[in-house]
Structure 1
């Protein structure tokens, strides 16, 4: 069972720090009007309703106090209201509104240059993006927050941000670094009276210990976190810790205790209408019932969990629910429904792959930032050392001004000369290395993407409304390969793919990648090209023509050869860079999956295209089409397909 407790706990931790700080500051303000007192009272009622889980009522109170503060021109208090509204929306799983109101709050705080409030909001925005799996955006906001915190020397907020970074490490399964940052935060919190922050820290580290299999450490931390949550009667915190304990005992196969803790988590989550944890608990209970062979009850729970996860768009929870339903229906001998949920689970698994890409991109940027931080530290130390040397030189000049001055001049002259020579050599060497690096990068990535990567250190993913995707695949590859030596096999594949590379270059088509004997290309990226749809079909036809001629030549030489299927589809995609090493420009989306199905349902020697591509190019005079009818494609249902050939009047 997957858990998102770490993200949620850290987000609440930040709210605890920033909002408690705001409340104390608010109490210190000198109230000069009845309206201001009324607004303060209404805001406090909203905070109490929020703590009690009455979110609808809390929003009403926050809106009323917001109107009064606006009329009084109190930007900082307006920012407070927006902050509390954002937190309320977050608790309800409305992440879009949470982001909107956090950003409004930051804008109000900037008007009054309230740096502590700004850093708190930046942390919270990072927390929302963190839960949504957008680690690049989360990391960006955490960086902005920590800059302000260091200016203010706010150790408590630095601890909160460090815990966020620990959470990012946990998400990419770098648990040793995750615990390092959690421990750093704990050292600050343990000396404070912030019981809530301590509890959330213990909960976060407890989850990591569970994943590492250190179950005794995990239980110790989680038990203490639950005691603290009960002490301050924080329902949201209790929900999180109970869910973490449920996960721990599930890992230990103690299903009775796991069932107990998840039931309590579900109870409290339902009371405050936290759909996020309601869905997690329902699916977890369903999985436990599966283990206990109570398939009917498991199906009921997992269906409820799936419906609630659907409402908030929690893809990972929906996948867990589908896995649970697949196992339950399979055990109940209902093969039809078991197969249905198995296929849905696989679809969600594909959707979650983009999260893996985000993790890799985040790793690249985060490690780059660590390097910059190290360089900054070295520069500071160098500045201190330089200042010390200047003081020593000053004392020496006082003892023997003439001699030291002459020596100093000589040393400077020699130093400058050596530096000049070194600089020239370094620049020359750097230029050679840069030229080699640029040449290699342009061989891997499109020029436009390579330039963006060099300028920014990363590449933003982009949406394209209409891109053509080509897939090719060698028929009976394994059987044919068995007739060839390894060296001959690689040479034959290389000959074919080199020819394909030249063809794609000729028609301005972007090669995406090769996977074994499969070749993938795309038309219309990274620059839109109105001729790309026609060109990619011409490229496909030329590839098939090459393979046909290659087979004739190989057959004449009594050499094994390949026959190829080729399919093309057009539609919207998302494109970007994958990985932190050996960069690869890649594309994702349903269009890619459909193109793969078009290829797998093709015929050797033919170019098979989808109906959507046919409708776009059907009036091109250079093509002739053959309608194949509706063909069943795995995972896509029936798709209308066409064979396309090059039309010639001769």
Structure 2
């Protein structure tokens, strides 16, 4: 089997088993429930208010439509919050994540999965925690974050092997098998599938058995056994259709199509691909819509029908572009980091609680000993207890001080130090106007073309490398980084502390950035080009947000600086007349003439050619004479 089916399959595993976790699945496997009748019960209100959580959860267990799953999971969360049900809050966030995953929104799905882990921790249910780890691993696997995926699969399976939750264990094994299948490690994939399959069959869980048979069919296809593959895949499709799991049907049909394509039976292959596309469109499954269109485009090309091939390829491109999101990889990496930080903090809190419990137990034991041994031993034990308490208090105080220092450091990494101090003291930050600052925008040229040629991991690694270098250069020049927007870098000089040389500092930083990107001894990464734009004038600066703080600036100066950047050229620094008047005694500039600026009319622009001979280099308060000029 070729790898066209391979890229389709990788999108179903997150919701394949994750949507079926933590309900009375074995009971439902043995006694099918009609979802329509359950919905009628809920909509008509024919139940006690105390049973509302159970009714909603029962509907979610058997639902297949992701839009309805979203509605009922959000309803479950609202009702569970009112009734203070930690267990149902866990299920609500898990199911909401599953519906988002099916609708092609992995980042929001991942946020809900991490929220579910917090409630799983509160319940103390290792099976629940292990199962949501499986779902998190699936999400990373689908987005080709293989390092995180492998780590969470290992965590999940190790945890689930210590529980009696056979269904969750088989789910984790099956999804890990899919992960290794996608990695091309067929022996490992088959090992996990063959361990999971008998568990599903023993539990009489037909949907799980169906996916197990389909998985075997995929592996047989990769091993060059088309007849065995078709036999297993057809058994799989028959079970999933009987169970009404059309998401799974849509996922496995492309594999059947691949086998017929290899046999040269293009008409039968097209029939199966078209059915997969119809189901995907019905249920809004974006990834499968995209992949089915690509498969049909290739099949019609083989059949000699270029018109239909082009039509399906255009549809594929539409969905491919809608699902492509470079920032998604960065956000998911940051989301995992934030979750790990929260987990570490929870571990610290747990250790402190355990220390308090241990201390209380020891003191009670000491009290019994004091009575038995008399006044002298009592006095000694009391002194010993006080000494231990003193050490505990001192140790606790040290932990608190370290955590406070870490929090202060994190806050100062997000906000300017003066702003961070004001926020800690007053709980808010007043907006301030600065009469004269310099604002710079730096944007990579042709970034979209580069992103199409690089893997997401390499792209994120490259952008992170450049932005880290820019951050260090900005700190050296006394320039304040404001934010990044995709591949655009924004910074300002002359705030939060006014500085009369702000324009000079900013142009120096712009020169540094050109050197960094050109690779003059700074990086092994080459090939990118950047354009820069600077404008000087008044701005208003302040902090926005109440939970996730962000320092930002506003005003016409910011808009004009952005226009300077868009009007620049690759490898050039474009500045406005305001900035030119502030730096002309330090830099050689080339007048570009009057240029049209959006919403501003005609404005004078200049290219910075380099520092004037004999000008002064300013770096962290030190002054160095420039011996030559930059051209």
The alignment's TM-score, normalised by the length of structure 2, stands at: 0.58
Count of residues in Structure 1 that have an aligned counterpart in Structure 2 = 485
Give the corresponding residue for 1:83.
57
What is the deviation of 1:85?
3.4
What is the deviation of 1:74?
0.4
What is the deviation of 1:622?
4.2
In 2, Cα distance between the equivalents of 1:425 and 1:110?
Answer: 33
Uncovered stretches (5+) of structure 1, i.e. residues with no partner? 24-46, 51-57, 456-467, 476-489, 550-560, 564-604, 625-650
In 2, Cα distance between the equivalents of 1:266 and 1:520?
Answer: 56
What is the deviation of 1:344?
1.3
In 2, Cα distance between the equivalents of 1:277 and 1:170?
Answer: 15
In 1, Cα distance between the equivalents of 2:229 and 2:410?
Answer: 54
What is the deviation of 1:84?
3.4
Q: 1:506-558: CA deviations, max 9, x gaps? A: 7999x999783235899999769574544421454578996489xxxxxxxxx
Whether contact under 8 Å (1:329, 1:335) holds in the other structure is: yes
- 1:380-419 aligned within 5 A: 380-391=353-364, 393-394=366-367, 397-398=370-371, 399=373, 401-402=375-376, 405=379
Q: 2:13 aligns with which of 5, 13, 33?
A: 5
Q: 2:75 aligns with which of 104, 108, 124?
A: 104
Is 1:175 equivalent to 2:150 in the alignment? Answer: yes
Q: 2:339 aligns with which of 320, 342, 366?
A: 366
Whether contact under 8 Å (1:129, 1:138) holds in the other structure is: no
Give the corresponding residue for 1:62.
38
Check 1:420–1:373 CA distance in 2 against 1; reply closer, same or farther (3 A cut). closer
More displaced stretch, 369-378 vs 397-406: 397-406
In 2, Cα distance between the equivalents of 1:234 and 1:403?
Answer: 65
Give the corresponding residue for 2:132.
164
Whether contact under 8 Å (1:75, 1:111) holds in the other structure is: no
Q: 1:14 aligns with which of 10, 22, 29?
A: 22
In 2, Cα distance between the equivalents of 1:326 and 1:433?
Answer: 55
Give the corresponding residue for 2:256.
285
What is the deviation of 1:236?
3.1
Check 1:403–1:300 CA distance in 2 against 1; reply closer, same or farther (3 A cut). closer
What is the deviation of 1:220?
5.6
Aligned-pair RMSD on alpha carbons?
A: 5.7
Check 1:350–1:413 CA distance in 2 against 1; reply closer, same or farther (3 A cut). same
Check 1:393–1:357 CA distance in 2 against 1; reply closer, same or farther (3 A cut). same
In 1, Cα distance between the equivalents of 2:132 and 2:27?
Answer: 17
Find the residue that maps to 1:239 and give its secondary structure.
Answer: helix
Give the corresponding residue for 2:486.
none
Uncovered stretches (5+) of structure 2, i.e. residues with no partner? 1-5, 141-145, 428-439, 448-468, 482-489, 496-505, 518-526, 545-549, 576-587, 605-631
Is 1:240 equivalent to 2:211 in the alignment? Answer: yes
Q: 1:312 aligns with which of 270, 283, 291?
A: 283
In 2, Cα distance between the equivalents of 1:306 and 1:469?
Answer: 44
Whether contact under 8 Å (1:235, 1:268) holds in the other structure is: yes
Give the corresponding residue for 1:602.
none
Check 1:75–1:299 CA distance in 2 against 1; reply closer, same or farther (3 A cut). same
Give the corresponding residue for 1:356.
329
Check 1:179–1:210 CA distance in 2 against 1; reply closer, same or farther (3 A cut). farther
Find the residue that maps to 2:337 and give its secondary structure.
Answer: helix
What is the deviation of 1:6?
4.7
Whether contact under 8 Å (2:153, 2:172) holds in the other structure is: no
Find the residue that maps to 1:15 and give its secondary structure.
Answer: coil
Find the residue that maps to 1:139 and give its secondary structure.
Answer: helix
Is 1:139 equivalent to 2:113 in the alignment? Answer: yes
Check 1:521–1:239 CA distance in 2 against 1; reply closer, same or farther (3 A cut). farther
- Higher share in helix: 1
In 1, Cα distance between the equivalents of 2:182 and 2:240?
Answer: 24
Give the corresponding residue for 2:563.
537
